Structure 1
Amino acid sequence: MERRFSIPQKFENQVVISQITQAEAIEYGVEHWRRNRNDFHCMGALYWQLN
């Protein structure tokens, strides 16, 4: 998180930044599986998100 954002002092702002970081990670993973998809598989995206 520190690589992309400066860490705020207020806890509420830290929560927001951590949620943004998590959203970007999910986006990155789902885009990867979409690029590598075929007609028969979901590429593990659902299992990855639930883990």
Structure 2
Amino acid sequence: NDLLGVPMPLEVLCVVAFGVKAKERPAADLALLPWEKVHIGTYRTEEEQETT
């Protein structure tokens, strides 16, 4: 939790790593991705998100 700046009692469920592709795949449709579940950067509370 300290490494990623996520406060307790929250837990990290997944860390996605990016690298060199093993094989070519078609791109995902960005409109269908659940962006409300994607966190980019550091953890922010709802109050912190509303002020930015």
| TM bucket, shorter chain | under 0.3
Q: TM-score, normalised by structure 1?
A: 0.26
Bigger relative CO (Cα 8 Å, ≥ 6 apart): 2
More helix per residue: 1 or 2? 1
Q: TM-score, normalised by structure 2?
A: 0.26
